[in-house]
Chain A
């Protein structure tokens, strides 16, 4: 029945296009869009609020621990604790020359399967001001710890599959020849591009005397349309403001704050490797790990060359649910 309705709507729309004068049809389309956009924006806002509400309610039911790194793009070598679920909401506001500024957001569900394997699901969306709010795709990420013990450098293998549209703007990584002008394309046009991409990263990280230093080279290939391998990098360093913990449980103790800096950018592709026509960013990062298990992160990012967005403001809130796996297991077993 719904298929028939869909077809009849298509037919009516086609007849309208043929019979009505072009200008009238465009006006009608614009009116339809004017009515639709606020609804979409409302629905996206409602989804975000619902997501945050779910995190908050679940937070009341599960114990928590938090010692999260401040990085937003870079990864260190620490995986999620086995059986724990971390739910995260992140936001990126970006300025756009030659187009409208945007606000991209994503929800992240990170689960520790074992002490050496963590899996994550991302749901991406964005609002381009004066344009529209859209869901822009999903990513499935897996991280494998390669060595059992701590070494001078600790490698973790990262494998990701993503199915995103050309309108995706979360900028979770910058690769190949990604430049600011790519993001100026209107959503209606950009979302027609569908990308199936695999991405491999080698996460190299070391913690010494409280300092964490991490380097993530990446290689990605878009499986649609015969694209070549693209390359990129992210590098970061961070340190807690205090290394010794305080006796009291406190929110504002210096050991709860971790500050650092990260830098990320593209390195061209297989045929044109290097810095020309690439974009790069430098971003101070701060994380605030609350004793209640919540973590807040803020990171203002600055474009380092003419191909980069001038300014990116990222922030995120996350909550870890310890023992999530065993609770779900008990529910499924019925006791």
Chain B
């Protein structure tokens, strides 16, 4: 194959990487504020699913372990949120049904940087849901990524219950 065609092919291979590098900039703050809007996009049937491990006494503790392993890097060690991911102590999350959180875990929010977590077996995702729902919610609505929830005032200490 002529050299020019090889170069063209290489350029074609490089193009997606360059394009991604340009689009991988942080989202504007205006869009970050609507990050909890993803909770409203969950199909009603999925949102209505009950947590099959709701009565499992070990589900919360196991979920906490899984949270440390897979989620704390972005959401913070006490789920307070960080630069990369929103707080899970926000009322929007805490008032969401277990089915809603499970659906978001399974499908991710790929365009906002949240990967799909269906690689975790279903019972482990439910254990995570149990833990997230056990957290003490913030009394004030939290901001999106970039404004950790710990900065906002609250009457009770957020995060894990003793």
**Which of A's residues lie within 8 Å of B, judged by CB?**
63, 65-67, 69, 76, 78-79, 81-83, 112-117, 119, 140, 142, 144-145, 148-150, 159, 161, 196, 198, 207, 209-210, 212, 223-224, 226, 240, 243-249, 255, 291, 322-323, 326
Contacts and interface: CB of A to CB of B under 8 A. Distances in A.
B24 to A, nearest CB: 5
A115 B108 CA distance: 9
Give the interface centre of A76, A117, A223 by most chain B CB atoms within 10 Å.
A117
Nearest to A240: B121
A245 B115 contact: no
B147 interface: no
A300 B108 CA distance: 34
Given A83-B84, A114-B113, A247-B61, 7 more contacts: A78-B115, A78-B116, A148-B107, A148-B111, A244-B127, A247-B62, A248-B65
Interface string B4-26: 00100110010011001101100
A322 B118 contact: no
Contact of A142 (B13, B111, B118): B13
A240 B118 CA distance: 13
B107 A196 contact: no
| The 5 A-B residue pairs with the shortest CB-CB distance in the complex, in nearest-first order | A243-B121, A244-B123, A149-B107, A322-B73, A115-B110
12 contacts: A67-B120, A78-B115, A115-B111, A115-B115, A148-B107, A148-B110, A223-B1, A223-B6, A243-B122, A246-B62, A255-B124, A326-B83
Contact of B111 (A116, A144, A240): A116
Contacts of A83: 84
Interface of B: 1, 6, 9-10, 13, 16-17, 20-21, 23-24, 58, 61-62, 65-66, 69-70, 72-73, 83-84, 106-116, 118-124, 127
B81 to A, nearest CB: 15
Contacts of B124: 243-245, 255
A117 B20 contact: yes
Given A115-B108, A115-B113, A116-B110, A65 B16 contact: no
Prevailing SS type, chain A contact patch: loop
Prevailing SS type, chain B contact patch: helix
A250 to B, nearest CB: 10
B121 A210 contact: yes
Contacts of B61: 247
B83 to A, nearest CB: 8
Nearest to B23: A114
A37 B117 CA distance: 47
Contacts of B69: 65-66, 291
Contacts of A144: 16
Nearest to B1: A223
Contacts of B16: 117, 142, 144, 159
A83 B23 CA distance: 14
Nearest to B112: A115
Nearest to B41: A149
Given A65-B73, A145-B110, A150-B106, A82 B120 contact: no
Nearest to A161: B13
Nearest to B114: A115
A211 B24 CA distance: 32
A63 B118 contact: no
Contacts of A112: 115
Contacts of B17: 113, 117, 119, 142
Given A81-B115, A210-B121, A114 B9 contact: no
A185 to B, nearest CB: 24
Give the interface centre of B73, B112, B118, B121 by most chain A CB atoms within 10 Å.
B121
